[in-house]
Protein backbone atom coordinates (compact mmCIF):
# COMPACT_ATOMS: atom_id res chain seq x y z
CA UNK A 1 0.00 0.00 0.00
CA UNK A 2 1.41 3.32 -1.13
CA UNK A 3 0.17 6.86 -0.35
CA UNK A 4 -0.56 7.44 -4.05
CA UNK A 5 -2.62 4.25 -4.46
CA UNK A 6 -6.06 5.11 -5.76
CA UNK A 7 -9.16 4.32 -3.72
CA UNK A 8 -12.65 4.34 -5.20
CA UNK A 9 -15.34 4.74 -2.56
CA UNK A 10 -18.48 3.07 -3.91
CA UNK A 11 -22.07 3.18 -2.67
CA UNK A 12 -23.60 -0.04 -1.34
CA UNK A 13 -27.39 0.33 -0.96
CA UNK A 14 -28.24 -2.79 1.06
CA UNK A 15 -26.69 -5.43 3.32
CA UNK A 16 -27.64 -8.02 0.66
CA UNK A 17 -25.43 -6.20 -1.85
CA UNK A 18 -22.59 -6.07 0.65
CA UNK A 19 -22.93 -9.78 1.38
CA UNK A 20 -21.95 -10.40 -2.28
CA UNK A 21 -18.78 -8.40 -1.66
CA UNK A 22 -18.00 -10.40 1.48
CA UNK A 23 -19.07 -13.90 0.35
CA UNK A 24 -18.41 -13.85 -3.38
CA UNK A 25 -15.58 -11.33 -3.55
CA UNK A 26 -17.08 -9.03 -6.19
CA UNK A 27 -18.94 -5.75 -6.60
CA UNK A 28 -21.13 -4.82 -9.57
CA UNK A 29 -21.37 -1.48 -11.35
CA UNK A 30 -23.82 -0.85 -14.19
CA UNK A 31 -21.75 0.10 -17.23
CA UNK A 32 -24.10 3.03 -17.83
CA UNK A 33 -23.24 4.46 -14.38
CA UNK A 34 -19.59 3.46 -14.13
CA UNK A 35 -17.14 6.16 -13.10
CA UNK A 36 -13.93 6.89 -14.89
CA UNK A 37 -11.16 5.38 -12.85
CA UNK A 38 -12.34 1.83 -12.41
CA UNK A 39 -8.65 1.03 -12.15
CA UNK A 40 -8.30 2.05 -8.50
CA UNK A 41 -6.09 -0.25 -6.48
CA UNK A 42 -8.69 -0.39 -3.68
CA UNK A 43 -12.47 -0.18 -3.41
CA UNK A 44 -14.06 1.13 -0.22
CA UNK A 45 -17.76 0.80 0.58
CA UNK A 46 -20.14 3.56 1.65
CA UNK A 47 -23.22 2.05 3.33
CA UNK A 48 -26.70 3.33 2.50
CA UNK A 49 -29.71 3.90 4.74
CA UNK A 50 -30.68 0.20 4.82
CA UNK A 51 -27.65 -0.47 7.05
CA UNK A 52 -29.39 1.13 10.05
CA UNK A 53 -26.86 2.33 12.65
CA UNK A 54 -23.97 1.74 10.22
CA UNK A 55 -25.58 3.91 7.50
CA UNK A 56 -23.86 6.81 5.76
CA UNK A 57 -20.34 5.68 6.56
CA UNK A 58 -17.42 3.75 5.08
CA UNK A 59 -16.72 0.68 7.19
CA UNK A 60 -14.80 -1.62 4.86
CA UNK A 61 -12.49 -1.85 1.86
CA UNK A 62 -10.86 -4.46 -0.37
CA UNK A 63 -8.10 -4.62 -2.93
CA UNK A 64 -9.25 -4.62 -6.57
CA UNK A 65 -7.93 -7.68 -8.36
CA UNK A 66 -9.49 -7.07 -11.77
CA UNK A 67 -12.79 -6.60 -13.56
CA UNK A 68 -14.79 -7.97 -16.46
CA UNK A 69 -17.88 -6.91 -18.40
CA UNK A 70 -20.93 -9.15 -18.04
CA UNK A 71 -24.69 -9.00 -18.41
CA UNK A 72 -26.84 -8.88 -15.31
CA UNK A 73 -28.21 -12.26 -16.43
CA UNK A 74 -24.70 -13.72 -16.16
CA UNK A 75 -24.21 -12.18 -12.72
CA UNK A 76 -27.58 -13.35 -11.41
CA UNK A 77 -28.78 -16.38 -13.40
CA UNK A 78 -31.67 -16.84 -10.96
CA UNK A 79 -32.99 -13.40 -12.03
CA UNK A 80 -33.04 -14.12 -15.79
CA UNK A 81 -36.39 -12.36 -16.14
CA UNK A 82 -35.20 -9.13 -14.51
CA UNK A 83 -36.03 -5.92 -16.38
CA UNK A 84 -32.30 -5.16 -16.80
CA UNK A 85 -31.19 -8.77 -17.43
CA UNK A 86 -29.48 -7.76 -20.69
CA UNK A 87 -27.79 -4.67 -19.25
CA UNK A 88 -24.00 -4.68 -19.07
CA UNK A 89 -22.25 -4.53 -15.71
CA UNK A 90 -18.66 -4.40 -14.57
CA UNK A 91 -17.97 -7.26 -12.21
CA UNK A 92 -15.09 -6.01 -10.07
CA UNK A 93 -13.14 -8.86 -8.49
CA UNK A 94 -11.92 -8.11 -4.99
CA UNK A 95 -9.54 -9.49 -2.41
CA UNK A 96 -10.62 -10.15 1.19
CA UNK A 97 -12.74 -7.47 2.83
CA UNK A 98 -10.99 -5.54 5.57
CA UNK A 99 -12.74 -3.40 8.16
CA UNK A 100 -11.67 0.01 9.37
CA UNK A 101 -11.03 0.36 13.09
CA UNK A 102 -12.82 3.70 12.91
CA UNK A 103 -15.46 4.20 10.19
CA UNK A 104 -15.33 7.25 7.92
CA UNK A 105 -18.68 8.89 8.64
CA UNK A 106 -20.74 11.45 6.80
CA UNK A 107 -21.63 14.19 9.27
CA UNK A 108 -24.63 15.08 7.11
CA UNK A 109 -26.59 12.81 4.80
CA UNK A 110 -25.23 13.07 1.28
CA UNK A 111 -25.88 11.28 -1.95
CA UNK A 112 -22.72 9.36 -2.77
CA UNK A 113 -22.25 7.11 -5.76
CA UNK A 114 -18.47 7.20 -6.15
CA UNK A 115 -15.64 9.20 -4.59
CA UNK A 116 -12.09 9.11 -5.95
CA UNK A 117 -9.37 9.55 -3.36
CA UNK A 118 -5.88 8.37 -2.48
CA UNK A 119 -4.70 5.84 0.08
CA UNK A 120 -3.10 8.48 2.32
CA UNK A 121 -6.34 10.49 2.48
CA UNK A 122 -8.36 7.32 3.03
CA UNK A 123 -6.22 6.22 5.99
CA UNK A 124 -6.32 9.59 7.71
CA UNK A 125 -9.99 10.44 7.06
CA UNK A 126 -12.37 10.79 9.99
CA UNK A 127 -15.31 12.02 7.97
CA UNK A 128 -16.27 11.88 4.30
CA UNK A 129 -15.13 15.43 3.49
CA UNK A 130 -11.59 14.46 4.56
CA UNK A 131 -11.36 12.28 1.45
CA UNK A 132 -11.21 15.50 -0.61
CA UNK A 133 -8.74 17.44 1.55
CA UNK A 134 -5.72 18.95 -0.19
CA UNK A 135 -2.54 19.84 1.58
CA UNK A 136 1.19 19.40 1.44
CA UNK A 137 0.99 16.33 3.68
CA UNK A 138 -1.03 14.48 1.03
CA UNK A 139 -0.21 13.08 -2.38
CA UNK A 140 -1.24 15.39 -5.20
CA UNK A 141 -3.56 13.09 -7.16
CA UNK A 142 -3.07 14.90 -10.47
CA UNK A 143 0.72 14.81 -10.10
CA UNK A 144 0.68 11.12 -9.19
CA UNK A 145 -1.41 10.27 -12.27
CA UNK A 146 0.77 12.32 -14.61
CA UNK A 147 3.91 10.80 -13.12
CA UNK A 148 2.46 7.32 -13.53
CA UNK A 149 1.65 7.96 -17.21
CA UNK A 150 4.90 9.68 -18.20
CA UNK A 151 7.64 7.64 -19.83
CA UNK A 152 10.63 6.89 -17.64
CA UNK A 153 13.34 9.41 -18.47
CA UNK A 154 16.05 7.34 -16.78
CA UNK A 155 17.50 4.54 -18.95
Neighbours of 111 (CB within 10 A): 6
Q: Give tens-digit pLDDT for 13-56.
A: 999 999 999 999 999 999 999 988 788 999 999 999 999 999 99
Averaged pLDDT, 114-136: 87
The pLDDT of residue 155 is: 42
CA-CA distance, 6 to 145, in Å (whole number)?
Answer: 10
- The structure's pTM equals 0.84
The CATH number of 6-149 is which of 1.20.200.10, 2.30.130.30, 2.60.40.10, 1.10.510.10? Answer: 2.30.130.30
Q: Domain extents for the chain?
A: 6-149
Q: Is pLDDT above 80 for 110? A: no
pLDDT digits (tens, 9 = 90+) for 57-90: 999 999 999 999 999 999 999 999 999 999 999 9
Amino acid sequence: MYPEDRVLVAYVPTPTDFSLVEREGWYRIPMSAAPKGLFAEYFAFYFGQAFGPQKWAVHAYAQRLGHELMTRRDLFPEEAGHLRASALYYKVQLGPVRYLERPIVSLHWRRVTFIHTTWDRFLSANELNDLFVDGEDYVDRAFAILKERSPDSNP
